[in-house]
Amino acid sequence: MFNRTLAVAARQTAQTVRIAPRCLYSVQATGETRLPDTRRHDNRRKDFAGNLIKKFTGKSFLVRRANEPNESMVPTTLVRIDYLPSTATAEDIRKLVREATQKNGENIKEVVFCRTPTFHFKGRCLVHLNNTEDAASLVKYAHRRLLAGKVLNAGFGGEGNEDNVSSLLAESRTRELGSVADGTNYSGRAVEIVGFPLRSTVDHVSGKLRFKNVFPIEGVDQNLVELKTAERSSVSKFLVKFATEAEAWRCVRTFHNTRHVLRASHTYEFELRVSVVY
Domain boundaries, the chain: 2-56, 78-173, 190-277
In whole angstroms, give the CA distance from residue 186 to residue 176.
Answer: 9
Say what the alpha-carbon torsion angle 232, 234, 236, 237 is, to the nearest 10 degrees. -80
In whole angstroms, give the CA distance from residue 173 to residue 185.
Answer: 9
In whole angstroms, give the CA distance from residue 171 to residue 20.
Answer: 74
The class level of CATH for 190-277 reads alpha beta
Q: What is the pLDDT of residue 209?
A: 94
Q: What is the pLDDT of residue 4?
A: 59
Q: Report mean pLDDT in 10-residue bins for the chain, 278 residues.
A: 55 52 46 53 60 54 47 79 93 94 90 91 93 93 93 86 81 79 78 92 93 90 89 91 94 93 75 93
Contact 262, 270 (CB under 8 A): yes
Backbone angles phi, psi at 157, to 5 degrees: -100, 170
The class level of CATH for 78-173 reads alpha beta
Nearest alpha-carbon partner for 278 in 142, 176, 166, 163: 176
- Torsion sign (Cα): 239, 241, 245, 247: negative
In whole angstroms, give the CA distance from residue 84 to residue 139.
Answer: 14
Q: What is the pLDDT of residue 260?
A: 86
Decide whether 78-173 matches 190-277 in CATH topology: yes
Contact 79, 146 (CB under 8 A): no
Q: What is the pLDDT of residue 45?
A: 57
